[in-house]
Amino acid sequence: MAIDKPWGGRFTQRPQREVEIFTSSLSFDRRLYRQDILGSKAYAKMLCRVGLIDKNEMKIILSGLDSILEDIEVGKFNFDPGDEDIHMAVEKALIARIGEVGKKLHTGRSRNDQVALDLRLFVREEIDEIIVTLKDLRRTLIQLAKRELNTVMPGYTHLQRAQPVLFSHYLMAYDCMFARDLERLENCRERTNVLPLGSGAIAGSNLPLDRRYLAKILKFPEITKNSMDAVADRDFVVEFVFSCALIMMHLSRLCEDLIVWSTDEFKFVEFSDDYSTGSSMMPQKKNPDVAELIRGKTGRVYGNLVSLLVTLKGLPMTYNRDLQEDKEPLFDTVDTVKSSIKNAKGMLNGMKINRERMKEAAYGFTIATDIAEYLVMKGVPFRDAHRIVGEIVAYCLEKRKSLSELDLKEFKEFHNCFDEDALKNLSPDDSVRRKVTEGSTSPEEVRIYIEEQERKLFS
């Protein structure tokens, strides 16, 4: 006698309880209930359109699915741990509510193309939400950059003071990263936005399923071209998680800078109390825990990406139960990146900027390159100018002076090309103001970039 499972016709023994627990994904894929019901409603309409069910049967199925959705939304739906996944849970409930007609919904459909659809719907929705939150973060960066357009700080290479830059230029460097992240998400959405439903388990169907009609109802501009690839493909999930991993990497780098800059050794920035925590032992501490957790959570998103790649790397065509393992890394990535972006935005909104300390730190030898370029403008080959300024720096270190403290006589001891005008541009403010290349840290170039991005984001 067949067992009581949707696939149990050829089986005479139920799976062991341990097997049922081990193979069940309902505890986490129940999160796809909205997508699953949305796809099932579209599928019922299509079955009616092609004559596989009549209009009355379609209405009964749609009404049953709506009642299941409502019960889940209000917390009244009883999820049975014995059901394998969200697809089986919904179908079982539907049959229990509307009777025999509920058994017709799965006509021509497999859980293989059903879950592929659910995942594409889910990823498409989440991409749209993350794009909104990422744009909000960029707007916050732009507003902060506008406010700090005259704030000069030392730029760093190798974590050593390099050249003076505008703090707004630094912020817009991260905006460039997040702009690329948006482009990647938008491109990923295009490849995600392809309908797999109607591919069946592997080979398509002998039934006259209208996939183009399904695509129209579910707002997919394209349908998959190969039924085997349609049920096996998780590239869009990997690509999405990869895009999220890059977002997290950019957030982590930003947080690393701000964590360092919030220390007493730098004192460039101070996090607001509501985005900081204290020490349980040391009363004086104010810890940048939000920034540190964003930095730390980046690693788990990387882990999710690697997990997906490893799961997929050895799978034979087409669908394999291993693919059940794609959802938890995907869901965790979505939750992590959305909360990280939102917390980063709040952290930046409340952050105090110590302009005086930043400017003070920009003095010293950060204008050395400016002096070398001054000599180049006087006709000195750059390699000679580089050596000359290096010797001037060594002299300053010996005499415990900064470059701005030297007089013309001292400069001329190193090269006779130095004139009075050499003494007029020895401050960090002069350094950023004199930049002329496109994309540089000059106030005008930074302002142009900000205005361009504002038009894109606020229009």
Which residues are known to be catalytic?
A: 158, 279
CA-to-CA distance for 251 and 296, rounded, in angstroms? 11
* Backbone torsions φ then ψ of 421, nearest 5 degrees: -65, -15
Q: Determine which helix (DSSP H) or strand (DSSP E) holds 352, and give its type and residue range.
A: strand 352-353
For the record, the structure tokens of 426 come out as: 């020895």
Contact 111, 32 (CB under 8 A): no
Task: Report residue 127: phi and psi, to 5°.
Answer: -60, -45
Token pair 């399923």 in the structure block, residue = 209
Which sign does the torsion angle of CA 159, 164, 168, 174 carry?
Answer: negative
Which pairs from 44-51 meet CB under 8 Å and 24+ separation?
Answer: 44/105, 45/213, 45/217, 46/209, 46/210, 46/213, 46/214, 46/217, 47/104, 47/105, 47/107, 47/108, 49/210, 49/213, 50/207, 50/208, 50/209, 50/210, 51/208
| Token pair of 130 as six digits | 């993350």
Alpha helices in 74-192 (DSSP H): 86-98, 111-147, 167-192
Using the structure block, give the residue that is written with the tokens 């003071």. 161
CA angle, 302 then 304 then 307, to 5° = 110
Q: What are phi and psi of 163, to 5 degrees?
A: -140, 155
Q: Are strands 352-353 and 222-223 parallel, antiparallel or unpaired?
A: unpaired
Alpha carbon distances (Å) from 450 to 6, 14, 227, 443: 58, 64, 47, 10
Long-range contacts of residues 256-264, Cβ cutoff 8 Å, at least 24 apart: 256/291, 256/295, 258/288, 258/291, 258/347, 258/351, 259/288, 259/291, 259/292, 259/295, 262/288, 262/291
